[in-house]
Amino acid sequence: MSSQPKNSPLIVVILAILVIGSSWWGINALSKAKGKAEEDPSGSAPGGPPPANVILATVESKTSTQTHQVVGTLRAKSRAKIAAREAGATLTINFDEGDLVEINSVIATLDTRRLDAQIAEATAEITVAEALVHQKKSRVKRSAIDLAMKETAFAGNALSEAEVLDARSANNVDNSIYASAQDSLKAAKSRLELLNVRLDDLKILAPFTGRVVERHIEPGEWAEPGSAIVTLVSSGEIEAWLQVPERFATTARGKQIPVTLTATGQTVTSTSLTIVPEAETSTRTLQVVALLPNPGDTLVPGLSVSAALPVSENTERLAVPVNAIVQGYAGPSIFISSSQEGSPLPVAKRLPIEILFQENETVYLKAEGLKAGDQVVVEGNERLFPFQTLLIGERK
């Protein structure tokens, strides 16, 4: 039979002393911590996060318009291949590429000799037709007098009825021949008029003021009706054709928008804005045409441009700096400085927001309970907790 160790009471005593000592040390530590918390002027809750160093900005109410950045290309208001209307050998081309052509200026002339000969022939035909009309008119007058005399004689029983009928028939024939001669004269004059029009068409005129961008024919070459002589683009005002997504088809508005040349950065303000009511099936975009002033013709077709297209009404909206936005799993939010009863320092209040749009470094938004003049955290909000106390610094 084994006996118990003799040192068991000693072990029990030692363990009791350790338990009593640990309890006293814990109670003493808690008492010191409570005393420090009561003396701490920062107002942070015991065991909570310390006050956060932040910088604030003021929520503003601004009149603004939402814009969407779009791209496009400059086009001339008018572009045409000026064509010959008549066949003929090209005698002169009066303009080279790059030259400015005023409206109704003679761009080129074609050989007129063939039409000159036809016009001379048509003029002679008119002379013959006029003489024939004169002759037939005299013949009508003579037959009318003869008919009247015979009808008088017939009334006095001096002539037979057959002679009167013959005279009447002859008069009707003469009237018909006279009418035919008059129609022939009209046809000859119309032919001469057409030949004069064709003669004028041998001078190719500019239908609008513009610049020659390409010559398609040289002096001496034969031009057929419809063959291009030069390509002419209009000068002065120019159009910016902008590609606009279909979701903005009904919201694009305004007429004065800034249009920027991609290559040079030059910005021109449009004078009008027109939506082309047809969408591209492949890209689902619409064409919006912005008319731009172009003094000095410094803007040329084909250059790429961009524009800030207004897509909303110009109205008052709440605005905050972009640095105030905090993105989270629940969506975007902001922290505003709010006072809390019992706390000597302001605390952070989190507000969920709806971002309307961003313009440069400013975000326009909507949020329940937010108003102009509220103070929003713009620095130090990355690790900020709701209701955490704030130590507000100054923006450098």
Residue percentage of the chain with pLDDT more than 90: 52
* d(C-alpha 231, C-alpha 226), whole Å: 13
Domain locations along the chain:
52-64+315-393, 68-77+234-310, 112-201
Instruction: Quote the pLDDT of residue 24.
Output: 65
* d(C-alpha 258, C-alpha 245), whole Å: 18
Mean pLDDT for the stretch of residues 74-92: 94
Mean pLDDT taken over the chain: 86
Q: Give a three-class secondary structure readout of 137-158.
A: HHHHHHHHHHHHHHHHHHHCCC
- For the chain, the distance separating the N- and C-terminal CA atoms, rounded to the nearest angstrom, is 86
Q: At 133, list the tokens.
A: 């009309």
User: Given pLDDT bands bounded at 50, 70 and 90, which one contains residue 32?
Assistant: low
Instruction: Quote the pLDDT of residue 33.
Output: 44
Question: Is 2's pLDDT higher than 80?
Answer: no
Q: Are 256 and 232 in contact (CB under 8 A)?
A: no
DSSP run (H or E) holding 101: strand 100-101
User: Given pLDDT bands bounded at 50, 70 and 90, which one contains residue 102?
Assistant: very high
Fold of 112-201: Helix Hairpins (1.10.287)
Neighbouring C-beta atoms of residue 370, cutoff 10 Å: 17
Q: Of the candidates 366, 362, 370, 368, which has an alpha carbon nearest to the alpha carbon of residue 338? A: 370
* d(C-alpha 388, C-alpha 347), whole Å: 5
52-64+315-393 is a CATH 2.40.420.20 domain: yes
> Which of 22-26, 27-31, 259-263 shows the lowest per-residue confidence on average (mean pLDDT)?
27-31
Pick the CATH number of 68-77+234-310 from 3.10.20.90, 2.40.30.170, 3.30.70.1150, 2.60.120.20: 2.40.30.170
Q: Which of 316 and 37 is assigned the larger pLDDT?
A: 316
Question: Is 239's pLDDT higher than 50?
Answer: yes
Instruction: Quote the pLDDT of residue 106.
Output: 96
Q: Which range scores top for mean pLDDT: 29-33, 149-153, 302-306, 386-390?
A: 302-306
Instruction: Quote the pLDDT of residue 7.
Output: 57
Q: Which of 146 and 36 is assigned the larger pLDDT?
A: 146
Give pLDDT tens digits for 203-231.
999 999 999 999 999 999 999 999 999 99
Question: Is 155's pLDDT higher than 60?
Answer: yes
Give pLDDT tens digits for 268-301.
999 888 888 888 888 888 888 999 999 888 899 9
DSSP run (H or E) holding 358: strand 354-359
* d(C-alpha 268, C-alpha 266), whole Å: 7
Instruction: Quote the pLDDT of residue 222.
Output: 95
User: Given pLDDT bands bounded at 50, 70 and 90, which one contains residue 393?
Assistant: confident
Contacts of 292 (CB under 8 A, 6+ apart): 74, 237, 238, 239, 240, 259, 268, 269, 270, 271, 299
Mean pLDDT for the stretch of residues 169-195: 93
Q: Of the candidates 347, 350, 315, which has an alpha carbon nearest to the alpha carbon of residue 330? A: 350
Instruction: Quote the pLDDT of residue 256.
Output: 83
Q: Which of 33 and 132 is assigned the larger pLDDT?
A: 132
The structure tokens 């009904």 sit at 250
Q: What angle do CA 328, 332, 334 make, to 5 degrees?
A: 105
Mean pLDDT for the stretch of residues 47-69: 85
Q: At 113, list the tokens.
A: 């000799």
What proportions of the chain, in percent to the nearest 5, are helix, strand and coil? 30, 35, 35
Cα dihedral 132, 137, 142, 143 sign? positive
Q: HSE (CB half, 13 Å, CA atoms) of 246?
A: 8
Q: Are 48 and 347 in contact (CB under 8 A)?
A: no
User: Given pLDDT bands bounded at 50, 70 and 90, which one contains residue 36?
Assistant: very low
Measured CA to CA in angstroms, residue 227 lies from 185, 234, 389 at distances of 35, 20, 83
Instruction: Quote the pLDDT of residue 29.
Output: 56
Instruction: Quote the pLDDT of residue 277.
Output: 84
* d(C-alpha 387, C-alpha 370), whole Å: 17
One-character DSSP codes across 117-136: HHHHHHHHHHHHHHHHHHHH
Give pLDDT tens digits for 357-388.
888 899 999 999 899 999 999 998 888 888 88
Mean pLDDT for the stretch of residues 197-201: 94
Instruction: Quote the pLDDT of residue 26.
Output: 63
Question: Is 1's pLDDT higher than 90?
Answer: no
Instruction: Quote the pLDDT of residue 34.
Output: 44
Q: Which of 6 and 80 is assigned the larger pLDDT?
A: 80
Question: Is 44's pLDDT higher than 60?
Answer: no
Q: HSE (CB half, 13 Å, CA atoms) of 219?
A: 9
Neighbouring C-beta atoms of residue 200, cutoff 10 Å: 13
Question: Is 13's pLDDT higher than 80?
Answer: no
* d(C-alpha 345, C-alpha 348), whole Å: 10
* d(C-alpha 175, C-alpha 182), whole Å: 11
